[in-house]
A and B are shown apart, each in its own frame.
Chain A
Amino acid sequence: MATPSIIGQKNKKGQVYTDPWYMLHEAPRTPSFFTGSEVIKEAIRRASVDVMIAYPITPQSEAAALIGELFAEGYVGDYFRGESEFAVMSECAGAAFGGARVFTTTAGPGTMRAMENFPMWAGSRLPIQMIVTCRGINSPLSIQPDTLEMAYLLQTGMLVWHAETAQDFYDWILKGYMVAEEPDVHLPLALCCDGFFVTHTKDMVELTPADMCLPPYDPYRSPVPCMDMECPPVRMMRDPFVMKSNYISYATHASWQQEVWAAVERSRKHTIAWLDGLIDAENVESDVVIVASGTAVSQGREAVAMLADEGIDVGLVKVKTIRPWPGEEIREATKHAKHIVIPEFNIIGWLAREVKATIPNNERVHAGPHVAGGMTMPPEIIVGEIKSLLGMKVETLATRGS
């Protein structure tokens, strides 16, 4: 939240440090027609980011380069191109250890290459924000949208949010810093979206005023010391725990892992306030409920409308955060459903697995339809699967090739 003393002051670009709640909930908005990448730029323009480190990989390259323009204009403190995603994420860590607000973007194979850093970020309690513009990760090479990489991020201790639209993106980048930097959270955030579908399409987005920005990050609200030699440098431990084979060292590691996951849980209350709930639920009294995240929500919404035209009532749950996982919310939203349909842009169906592990009578979960490797998901496929679940005759089942 805001540091009271700085609110109302101007930064070197003349932007006014504004109370974040006012800026995001009450300040006037201007409709603008932008690509997802441009929306990332506009959010960062207002985010008081100290350091951004970039590396080219489709489909995030454009956004990463646009932040460079912001640096050239003076909106971002420092910016450079790193040498690989592994190095970039370590460079981000160094900047965050040094007390900077840090931003980066990556995608697909880049996420995988950088993976060793993410549990380290979480364990070191670095509130770095990383945009993940999801794309294919497996061979043969694909640059097309596919959300498989998110499955790997779920166990890192990072917060993982899944934006559906450019508008989500815009608001959540700014809100993400507010949640991630809370002293009782202080964790990295992977803000994911489906590559191309969100980054490369134009959409109407309601922007907050360009002369308002978030208050700067205060590293002294961190639950762990900032590595800047501005606080006493006592020895951290009497004995380094690494490689000590004794119960105290195991217990130390175990309790810190528990603390990281407890911090993910503690982010819940802040996230609920900022995102207005971890899920959005519509019409969930129906027998059939679609549960989806990312672009699959948009396709689900289309399917709901098409089915409504035929007199078939279907509910829709938009899952906004995967970590923290909205288990209770989903249990509640699906309690009347006889069929829970989970369309996903990946082959393994990680969202369906999460839902199945959460709700009673999980035979109700229909994991699918799945598309992968860049395939689109026409709402007709979802409509077809739902009709078939309901025992209705389906003209063509695109997913089954009949």
Chain B
Amino acid sequence: MSLERIKIAPELYDIMPPEYQDLVQRATYGKESRGWKDIGTTKELIEEHSLCAGCPESMAFRYILASLPNPEDTVMVGSTGCTSLVFPHVAVHNIHSLFGNQNAVASGLKRALALRFPGRIKDVVVLAGDGATVDIGLDMTLQSWFRQEKFTTICFDNELYANTGGQESGLMQKGFVAKMAPVGKTFEKVRLPEIARESGCHYVVNCTVSKPNLVEKVVKNAVYVAREIGPTYIQFYTPCILEIGKNSMEGLQEMRDAEKPNERFAYKEYVSDAAKELLAEIAAKEKERKAAAKKQLAGQNA
């Protein structure tokens, strides 16, 4: 999509909703250096959210949307759960169809877009909860990786079924007492990042969303690698403060505690050789760009 597409005809400007006027004037579509630092200074691609106050998932949503490298040509695929309450507020095209079929939908979508827009970038990003990714949708999650489908899968791991009221999920920790796990979960947290690596993902990261700059980096890397090479997977800890008995302001600390060394969300990544090469190339270009900009700036000041 060209930025021109969303511009409003002057005659109709005053009858468009203020959010849309705002989107045209101040959103960061097409801005090469867009990132988490735009948050609060420009129009964000998420208008407002209907999640609980202080929900880390809402932070994750804002960081991810600020970090997408080209939202003007990105389509997101969601699934049922808390994320499906947010997507209707998001200013990129997004699909919710059923619970757990997100990677299947994304497979068809990515192929259709590749056919219809040869030579153009059309990124597809899946964003779904852990129930959708690991339980009901695991088959389709893995099969899309086996097939080397070129899109990014992001899992919001809150270690339970939050939207239905806190039931056991496959990514829940062993021993945690929850609805449907009345005597505590009897088996270990499913090791999806390791499974993702073995299933053919070229870039895998497991971390929390406590640091927006880290979220920006891994989201951009995941999208770039998916675009050029093959499937990528990010598992973000977005704790459900409600269901683990925390207060609204305690989400950030919960994530910081969970990412300490040897904790289950200590930063962990896997990058295939092909992806390493690509990311190094991108980093070199970025360095070059920055150096050129600096030089130009110095020239202007001289």
Contacts from A to B (Cβ < 8 Å) = 50-51, 53, 77-78, 80, 82-84, 86-88, 90-100, 102, 116-117, 120, 124, 225, 227-237, 239-240, 242-243
Contacts and interface: CB of A to CB of B under 8 A. Distances in A.
A98 B23 contact: no
A234 to B, nearest CB: 6
Contacts of A92: 108
Contacts of A84: 139
Nearest to B123: A229
Interface of B: 1, 5-6, 17, 19-20, 23, 47, 50, 72-75, 77, 84-95, 97-98, 101, 104-117, 122, 139-140, 143, 147
Contact of A95 (B88, B90, B111, B139): B111
Given A90-B104, A235-B89, A242-B84, A98 B116 contact: yes
23 contacts: A50-B112, A78-B114, A87-B140, A90-B101, A90-B108, A91-B107, A94-B95, A94-B112, A95-B109, A98-B116, A100-B108, A117-B97, A124-B97, A228-B75, A229-B75, A229-B92, A230-B1, A233-B1, A233-B92, A233-B93, A234-B19, A240-B88, A243-B85
A161 B71 CA distance: 41
Contacts of B73: 229
Q: Which 3 A-B pairs have the closest CB atoms?
A: A94-B108, A98-B112, A95-B108
Contacts of A232: 5-6, 20
A67 to B, nearest CB: 15
Contacts of B116: 50, 98-100, 228
B5 A231 contact: yes
Contacts, number: 151
B5 A90 contact: no
B47 A235 contact: yes
Given A51-B115, A100-B115, A228-B75, A93 B108 contact: yes
A100 B105 CA distance: 13
A298 to B, nearest CB: 36
Contacts of B90: 235
B97 A98 contact: no
Contact of A97 (B1, B86, B105): B105
B242 to A, nearest CB: 15
Given A51-B111, A230-B5, A94 B98 contact: no
Main secondary structure of the interface of B (DSSP, over half): helix
A24 B162 CA distance: 54
B105 A93 contact: yes
A227 B111 contact: no
B108 A234 contact: no
A94 B104 contact: yes
Contact of A235 (B88, B105, B117): B88
A247 B142 CA distance: 40
A94 B105 contact: yes
Nearest to B117: A228
Given A98-B112, A228-B93, A237 B88 contact: yes
B47 to A, nearest CB: 5
A237 B92 CA distance: 13
B109 to A, nearest CB: 4
Nearest to A128: B108
Contacts of A87: 101, 104, 139-140, 143
A400 B90 CA distance: 64
A196 to B, nearest CB: 29
